[in-house]
Amino acid sequence: MSIEPLNEEERAEALDALDEWDFDEARDAITRTFTFADFSAAFGFMTRVALLAEKMDHHPEWSNVWNRVDVLLTTHEAGGLSHRDVDMAGAMDALVD
Amino acid sequence: MSIEPLNEEERAEALDALDEWDFDEARDAITRTFTFADFSAAFGFMTRVALLAEKMDHHPEWSNVWNRVDVLLTTHEAGGLSHRDVDMAGAMDALVD
């Protein structure tokens, strides 16, 4: 099953809705930095996201330094942003907001 | 308690012993890429390292993409490589080798 990238209109709508996320034009991706009280809280968040990622079969590119988690979402199979990224971003937001 | 950076001799000895690790001169850090069968295995490794990191009170800078985990170890309080990085590198190696 191939995954279609978002079209222009869908992308604009998604970026408008995901107001905590930035658009990375070079990667056709969205990025967000999450900051927590300490490493334990940051890694707790990562663990919850890891479970989501396996369930949704969609995995972030991410890095962690102490209390900070930098996330980039894009869909390799689609060659750019897809609904999977929008869904995952919303699910990640729901864990912290 | 301040942490001393490794001196030249200690650094050379450590780098010689940690043969899976590369030296990042710009950061005075060591780096290693760990590769696993899939995301689940990679994140399982990260979870074990997270527990070690809390126990050792020393945390990696790291990123993950699917089955790959890139790790950088340095000691901010020491302004570069310290025995804490060498200990953590050895403990990470012990989880996979």
Closest residue of chain A to B63, computed from CA coordinates: A63
The answer to the question of residue A91 being in a domain is no
Return the percentage of chain B with pLDDT > 90, whole number: 96
pLDDT mean over A19-24: 96
CATH number at residue A53: 3.30.1360.20
Number of domains in chain B: 1
pLDDT at B41: 98
The answer to the question of residue A7 being in a domain is no
State the burial class of residue A51 (Cβ atoms within 10 Å of its Cβ: 0-12, 13-18, 19+): exposed
Residues of A in contact with B39 (CB under 8 A): 50, 53-54, 59
Report the predicted TM-score, pTM, of the whole model to 2 decimal places.
0.95
Q: Distance between CA atoms of A5 and B62, rounded to whole angstroms?
A: 29
Q: Which amino acid is it at A14?
A: A
Tell me which residue in B43, B62, B65 faces A61 most closely, judged by beta carbons: B65
The answer to the question of residue A52 being in a domain is yes
Residue B1 pLDDT more than 70? no
Distance from the Cα of residue A66 to its chain's centroid: 19
- The continuous run of DSSP H or E covering B33 comes out as strand B29-35
Residues composing chain B: 97
- Catalytic residue IDs of A: 54, 58-59, 76-77, 85
Tell me which residue in A50, A62, A66 faces B59 most closely, judged by beta carbons: A66
The catalytic residue among B38, B54, B61, B93 is B54
pLDDT at A44: 98
pLDDT mean over A16-37: 96
Q: Nearest CA of chain B to the CA of A42: how many Å?
A: 10
- Do B74 and A72 touch, CB atoms closer than 8 A? no
The answer to the question of residue A46 being in a domain is yes
The answer to the question of residue B14 being in a domain is no
Cβ within 8 Å, pair A63-B62: yes
pLDDT at B46: 98
State the burial class of residue B67 (Cβ atoms within 10 Å of its Cβ: 0-12, 13-18, 19+): middle
pLDDT tens by residue, B28-74: 999 999 999 999 999 999 999 999 999 999 999 999 999 999 999 99
pLDDT mean over A45-53: 98
- Do B22 and B29 touch, CB atoms closer than 8 A? no
Its domain, for residue B29, covers: 22-76
ipTM of the modeled complex: 0.94
Residues of B in contact with A53 (CB under 8 A): 39
The answer to the question of residue B81 being in a domain is no
- Whole-number average pLDDT of chain A: 96
The answer to the question of residue A66 being in a domain is yes
pLDDT at B84: 97
pLDDT mean over A68-89: 96
